[in-house]
Amino acid sequence: MPAILEFFYDYGSPYSYIADTQISGLRERSGCTLIYRPMLLGGVFKATGNHSPAQEPVEAKRAYFGNEMSRWVAHYGIPFRGNPFFPINTLSLMRQAHAAQRQGVFEAFHAAVFPAFWEREMNLGDADTLASVLEAAGLDAAALAEAAADPQIKAALLETTEEAVERGVFGAPSFFVAGELYFGSDRLAFVEAALGQQGE
């Protein structure tokens, strides 16, 4: 039976984007079953008292985080641009991710959103901009926006976010393998090793 990898993330998280660029290769190498768990990072921060690295009060530490991100981007050789609209309110966006899962179009949705925000510098907090991105990907943006307002979809995002906090998540990206939490895009080697042990 394949090992299971849960990926808790928010599209507004640059580290989640970095992790996402590597996750398909990791899945192919490990043969794991990958489960995407879209959550509201702002809700996680509020519940845990944590904050974004961009809001780090120690200036030298904040500058170091920026340097480290540049190093990882160069290490992976991935396209990345600091979005001028960062941070955005991702509530509607993450609800639409759940709606896309419910409608069976998540793969196309997911493939469109991360690059739009972290490669093309688009403001996905703006409803019209998001709609244009989704329509260009062949999705029904109006249907997704309407579904995101459904109480069941709202509840699904809330439940996923609360579950993440209950399981020890304090930021994004967060991964679970066999109930064990791994935090950060720089922990993927540990994630892959854990998946290898599960697959034995």
Reported as a single tens digit per residue, the pLDDT across 61-71 is 999 999 999 99
Q: Is 85 exposed, middle or buried (0-12, 13-18, 19+ CB in 10 A)?
A: middle
Range of the domain at 111: 4-198
Lowest-pLDDT range of 29-43, 46-60, 143-157: 46-60
Q: Average per-residue pLDDT in the chain?
A: 96
| Residues with Cβ within 8 Å of residue 153, at least 6 apart in sequence | 95, 98, 99, 102, 147
User: Looking at residue 55, what is its pLDDT?
Assistant: 87
Q: How far out from the chain centre does Cα 68 lie?
A: 19
Cβ-contact 166, 157 below 8 angstroms = no
pLDDT digits over 86-142, tens only?
Answer: 999 999 999 999 999 999 999 999 999 999 999 999 999 999 999 999 999 999 999
Cβ atoms of 117 and 18 closer than 8 Å: no
pLDDT at 64: 94
CATH number of the domain within which 177 lies:
3.40.30.10
Please provide residue 2's backbone torsions phi and psi, each rounded to the nearest 5 degrees: -60, 145
Tally Cβ neighbours within 10 Å of residue 181. 16
Domains in the chain: how many in total?
1
Beta bridge partners of 5: 34, 177
The residue to which tokens 């768990």 are assigned: 37
* Residue-wise pLDDT tens digits, 73-90: 999 999 999 999 999 999
Q: Cα–Cα distance between 97 and 157 in angstroms, integer?
A: 9
Give CA separation, 34 vs 5, 23, 176, in Å: 5, 9, 10
Q: Looking at residue 199, what is its pLDDT?
A: 58
Say what percent of the chain tops pLDDT 70. 99
DSSP 3-state of 171: coil
State how far the Cα of 168 lies from the Cα of 181, in Å rounded to an integer.
7
ω into residue 87 within 30 of 0, thus cis? yes
- What's the confidence (pLDDT) of residue 159? 98
Give the global pTM.
Answer: 0.96
Please answer whether residues 72 and 185 qualify as being in contact, where contact means their C-beta atoms are separated by less than 8 angstroms. Answer: yes
Give the whole-angstrom CA distance, residue 118 versus residue 143: 24
**Nearest CA to 177 among 154, 157, 197?**
197
Q: How confident is the model at residue 183 (pLDDT cuts 50, 70, 90)?
A: very high
pLDDT of residue 200: 60
Q: Report the pLDDT value the prediction gives residue 1, as an integer from 0 to 100.
A: 82
